[in-house]
Amino acid sequence: MSDLLHHLNAPQLQAVTLPPVHALILAGAGSGKTRVLTTRIAWLLATNQVGPAALLAVTFTNKAAREMTARLTAQVPINVRGMWIGTFHGLCNRMLRAHYREAGLPQTFQILDSGDQLAMVKRLQKNLGMDDEKYPPRELCHFINAHKEQGVRAAQAEVYDHYTQQRVDFYAEYEAQCNREGVCDFAELLLRSYELLQRNEPLRTHYQQRFKHILVDEFQDTNRLQYAWLQLLAGGGAKIFAVGDDDQSIYRFRGAEVGNMRDFEAQWCGDNIIRLEQNYRSHGNILAAANAIIQHNSDRLGKNLWTETGAGEPIRVFEGYSDLDEARFIVEEIRSLVRDGVLASQCAVLYRSNAQSRVIEHELFTQAVPYKVYGGLRFFERQEIKHALAYLRLLGNPDDDTAFLRVVNFPTRGIGARSLENLQAAAHQMNCSLYNAAASLSGKAAQTVGAFVGLIERLRNETAALPLPEIIEHVSEVSGLLEHYRREKEGQERLDNLNELVSAAATFIDAEGVIGEHGALADFLAHASLEAGEHQAGEGQEAVQLMSVHAAKGLEFDVVFLSGLEQGLFPHENAVNEGTAGLEEERRLMYVAVTRARQRLYLSSAQSRMLHGQTRYCVPSPFFSEIPGELLLRLNHTRTPYPASNRQADTAGGWDGSASTVAGWRIGQSVEHAKFGAGVIVACEGRGADARVQVNFGGGAGMKWLALEYAKLTPL
C-alpha cells in the first residue's frame, strides 16, 4: 500500500484516500490529475472497498482511456480488461450492445462516423428533394447533433420560424431513416443510452446498484447530456469523483458546459473540494504569468499554480514589424536553440487560427527546418486550398485532368458519377483532355459539364489583366467556393485559409519581385506545389511542432512560441463580439497556451499583418497587459527591422524610422491615449500646428485622426 501512495503530495494523497463521498478535484495544468484518478481507482481496489465490476471510469479520448488502463495494470494485480473504463461514447455503446432490445435497436446495429452521417444526410436530402444550398448538409448535421447533445428529440425541438421548422422536419425524417437502417451516429449513442436508463426503471436500478464509484476525467469538458447521464447513474448512491479544471474549459463551441462544475459543487459535493495546485511541468515565471492572466475571469472555482522548481527564465516578448518579421524571428530562434542542444521536437509554435501557420511554414521551408503540423494539415494540403489551387491550375492549363476532376462538381453542380464516367470514356476514345472532351457529351451531361467549362473560360477572361492576389479573390468568389464555406456552420476557418491564400500570393509577388517568363500565376502554383510537397518531416525525424492552441491542450514542450498575440486575433474578434463569455473563453485558451511550456516561453506579435492580401496594422493583445511586467523580457526595444525584400508593406509603413514620420511620431509606432487606450499609428500628415496622425485603437475606439497639438499621446 505504501508503494501505491508514496509518490503523492499532500493534496493528492487527500484526494486519493477520500472516504466514499462525492468530490470535486480541481486539478490545475501539470498537477498530476491522471495520476490521482488512476491511483484513486487502484486504492479503492487494493483496500477492498469495491470490486472491479463496481467501478465506472469515464474520459474523453480513447488514448486517455488506454493510458488509464495501462497505469492500473501496473499498479494492481487485477485483470482490468473487463472494467467499465472508456469514453462516454464507448461506454454508451457497450450499454446499448448489452440491452439492444430494450433500446429498440437491432443486435448488430452499426455506428455512423461523421463522414457516414454526412453521406446519409446528403442522400436523404436528395430523396426528399430538399435544397442543399439553402440547407447545407454539414449545417444540418450540426443542427441534429447539437439538439441530441442537449437531449432534445425532433418532437421536442423548439420552432420559431419557417427555416427552423424545415430543419426540425428533416431531423424527424433523419431519425426515422436511422431507425429503419438500424444505425446510430455518435450523438445518438449517448442520447439513446440516457433515454434507456431514464424510462427503464429496472435497468436503471440495476446499474445504480452495480456502480458504487463513478470517476470522471476532464469534467470541465462535459456537456449537459453527459452530466445528466452521470447523474442518472449516480442516483442510487454511487459516489462521483470528478477531476477537472474550469480554467481549461475551451470547448464551448463543441457544447462543453463549464457551468457543470459549479452545478456539481452546489448540488452534490458540498465542501469536498480538493485543489491540486502544485505544478510538476513549468517553471515559476510561466505559472505566475498563467495565474495573473486567468485571475481576470469571473466565477472561477479558484486555484493558484505553484512549483518547487524555481522561477526559471523570464518570458521573452518579441514585437515584429510584420507577420513575416515575426516568423523570421521564431525560426531563427528555433535554429539557435537546436544548435545549443534543444531537440526540435521539444519546440512548439502555437497559433490561435490555423491560417496563421502559412507564413510560419513558409519561413521554416525557406530555412530548411523540418516541421510537422500536429492535429491538422499543412497549409497547402488543406481541402479548401487545394480546391482553390485546382481552379487556378485550370486557368493556366485547362488540360489538367487532376485539377478538373477535383473541382468539376465542387461546389456541387449536379454532375453525377455517370456523367463523369461518360466524359472519361470520351476523353480516352478521342485521346484528349477531359476539358476538350466535354464538347462531345450530349443530354444533361452536356449541359452541366458544359456550364463548368464555360465558368472556367469566363474566369480566364475576367482575370486576364488582374494582379495575382485579385485573381485568387475573384476565382474564390465566382467559383462558389467562398459561398459554399459561408453556408457551413463551421466554415469560418476554411474562409480564413482562403483569405490567407490571397495574402500568400501578395507576399510571393513582393518577395520575388521579378516574375519568370511563364507569368505570376504559373510561378505561384509552382511555389505552392514545392511547399506542399517537401519538408514535412518524416516519421521519427526530429521536427518542430506546429499546432493551434486548441490542438495543444494536453501536450507539453520544453520551449513554446505563442504567436499572433494581437487584438482581434488572440483574443479572436468573433469571441470578443460575443461579450464577456467569449472573452473569458479566450482567456482560458491563453491560460492553456501558456501552461504548455516547461522551461522557456516566447510571446510574439506583429505591428502589421497581411490579411486578405492587404496590410493591416495591429494593436497588441490585451493579454500582454495582464502579465506583470517583471516577468517579461522584451527582446527588441532597439531592434532594427529585417530587410524588406521588396515587400511594399514594410517600406510603405515607414519602418525605417525616418519615412512617413511627423513631429517625431512614425507609422507603426505603438502609442497610448488617455481616453482611447493603446493603439498603433497607421498614417501621418501635415506639419507644425496642422500635424496629425491616424491611430488604430482596435475593437474599442477604432480608427481616430488626432491633432498632435492637442492629443496627448504617450509612446509605448
Query: In this structure, which amino acid lies at residue 205?
Result: T
321 in Cβ contact with 286 (< 8 Å): no
Residue 133 CA from chain centroid, whole number: 26
At 501 the three-state DSSP class reads helix
DSSP string of 537-573, one letter each residue: PPTT---EEEEEHHHHTT--EEEEEE---BTBBTTBH
8 in Cβ contact with 39 (< 8 Å): yes
Q: What are phi and psi of 20, to 5 degrees?
A: -70, 85
At 691 the three-state DSSP class reads coil
Q: What is Dmax (Cα atoms) for the chain?
A: 87
Q: Would you name the residues annotated as active-site residues?
A: 33-34, 217-218, 248, 596
Query: In this structure, which amino acid lies at residue 250?
Result: I
**Residue 11: cis peptide before it, omega within 30 degrees of 0:** no
- As a whole number of angstroms, the distance between CA 359 and CA 136 comes to 32
Helix (H) or strand (E) holding 403: helix 401-407
Q: What is the dihedral of CA 496, 501, 507, 510, to 10 degrees?
A: -140
- As a whole number of angstroms, the distance between CA 550 and CA 350 comes to 9
How many Å from the N-terminal Cα to the C-terminal Cα in the chain?
Answer: 59
Q: Where are the beta strands (DSSP E) in 217-306?
A: 239-244, 273-276
**Residue 467: cis peptide before it, omega within 30 degrees of 0:** no
Query: In this structure, which amino acid lies at residue 355?
Result: A
422 in Cβ contact with 396 (< 8 Å): no
Q: Kindly report the length of the chain.
A: 716
Helix (H) or strand (E) holding 488: none
Task: Kindly give, in sequence order, each residue whose CB lies less than 8 Å from that of residue 503, ignoring residues fewer than 6 positions away.
Answer: 358, 359, 469, 610, 611, 612, 613
352 burial (CB, 10 Å; 0-12 / 13-18 / 19+) is buried
Q: What does the radius of gyration of the chain's CA atoms come to, in whole angstroms?
A: 29
DSSP string of 289-353, one letter each residue: HHHHHHTTSSS------B-SS---SPEEEEEESSHHHHHHHHHHHHHHHHHTT--GGGEEEEESS
- As a whole number of angstroms, the distance between CA 184 and CA 110 comes to 6
Task: Kindly give, in sequence order, each residue whose CB lies less than 8 Å from that of residue 336, ignoring residues fewer than 6 positions away.
Answer: none
Residue 491 CA from chain centroid, whole number: 12
459 in Cβ contact with 478 (< 8 Å): yes
15 in Cβ contact with 44 (< 8 Å): no
**Residue 571: cis peptide before it, omega within 30 degrees of 0:** yes
Q: How many degrees, rounded to 5, is the angle at CA 701 between CA 698 and CA 706? A: 100
29 in Cβ contact with 305 (< 8 Å): yes
231 in Cβ contact with 208 (< 8 Å): no
Helix (H) or strand (E) holding 472: helix 468-478
